[in-house]
Amino acid sequence: MYLDNAATTQKPRAVIDRVHRFYADENANVHRGVHRLSERATDAYEQARVTAGRFLNARDAHEIVFVRGATEAINLVASSYGRTQVGRGDEVIVSAMEHHSNIVPWQMLCEQQGARLRVMPISDAGELDLDGYAALLNERTRMVSIVHVSNALGTVNPIEAVVRLAHRVGAAVLVDERAGRRASPHRRAGARLRFLCASAHKMFGPTGIGVLYGRTERLAGMPPSPRRRRHDRVGHLRAHPLQGAAAPVRGRDAAHRWCDRSRRGDRLRRGDWLGVDRHTRARPAGARDKRASRVPGLRIVGTAPEKAGIVSFVMDGVHPHDIGTILDREGVAIRTGHHCCQPLMDRLGVPATARVSLALYNTRDDIDALAAALQTVRGVFG
């Protein structure tokens, strides 16, 4: 029973077959050769950019830059855009629930530029404190970087409100959508964002490929990143493909198309990506309200009213790693630890949690198996 989808999702046959077909029948370098196979490979690569742009509601496919993952996208924005826009005395804001990869690049940027890193507060329930966030914003705020869906808690942040408040003081916003299968990523670029990053492997696609969305005027003005010095402008990454990523790009394209078909199908019932969110949210609610309450000493960590298909919990007298080990022996795969969110764990007063994260292929049988396995854990530790 695979309940670790916030770490990575399983891949549909359409994605696996597309990657296989590339290596079996279409393998060629892109944007390099004049032979027919290379031209076909280039056309497919650029069509994948169009698909990604349409999926994110970008104004133009050229606002899509392929990167190795969301982490590289954040580093690229921080090291390129950040170096030109953030100076001494300026401020960058992140939230208290960020993944380390959306903290460290901004820490490094602020140290290098003499700027200040500020943190949006959250409540004990793991909900963003919008009033506290608004109080942090001022004329020195240059950048706000925030996750849409917390990978540790499942909290869905009010991105539209975050963007609106940031733009009042002229700050740019980067949204981390790596949990985007639950967070309606096709709407985010339409929210007047400056930047958005997403990874494919958490959205039923292959590993090793991600997307950076950036407004055309922002990408065009970004100087070379230290890791991308061979390109005179980051915006030109559109024309210089990510070498070695031809197969993953095809896989990501297949994942986008598969998601489009799935959200139009009977299973999701609605013609929008939020259908996946509703499909998965119903299950953790049931697990929390009907099953978890029956396990003595189990406490949910993060109880914000707006949550995606992620539930973190602790159990009295049992370390999360022991929970994960016993559940694994019972055939249930979950995640345990600090989930690369140690500042968040410190804020909530827990060293680690056990985390269940669902995708649209999970069933009621998975929840039944989880509930039974948790009872086994309780029985082992008394």
Positions marked catalytic: 340
Is residue 294 helix, strand or coil? helix
Answer positive or negative: Cα dihedral of 122, 125, 130, 131: negative
Buried residues in 157-193 as b, exposed as e (16+ CB within 10 A): bbbeebbebbbebebbbbbbbbbbbbbbbbebbeeeb
- Amino acid identity of 245? A
Cα distance between residue 93 and residue 123, in whole Å: 17
Beta strands 116-120; 141-147: pairing state: unpaired
Confirm if 312 and 154 have CB atoms less than 8 A apart.
yes
- 89's CB contacts (< 8 A; 6+ apart) are 114, 115, 116, 140
- 161's CB contacts (< 8 A; 6+ apart) are 130
Instruction: Return the structure tokens found at 321.
Output: 């790693």
| C-alpha distances out from residue 74 to 12, 71, 137, 183, 224, Å | 27, 5, 21, 18, 14
Beta strand residue intervals within the chain, DSSP E:
64-67, 91-95, 116-120, 141-147, 172-176, 195-199, 210-214, 298-301, 310-315, 335-337, 353-357
Confirm if 137 and 168 have CB atoms less than 8 A apart.
yes
Element (H or E) spanning 284, and its range? helix 274-286
In this structure, the dihedral spanned by the alpha carbons of residues 86, 66, 204 and 371, taken in order and rounded to 10 degrees, is: -20
Max Cα distance, the chain (Å): 69
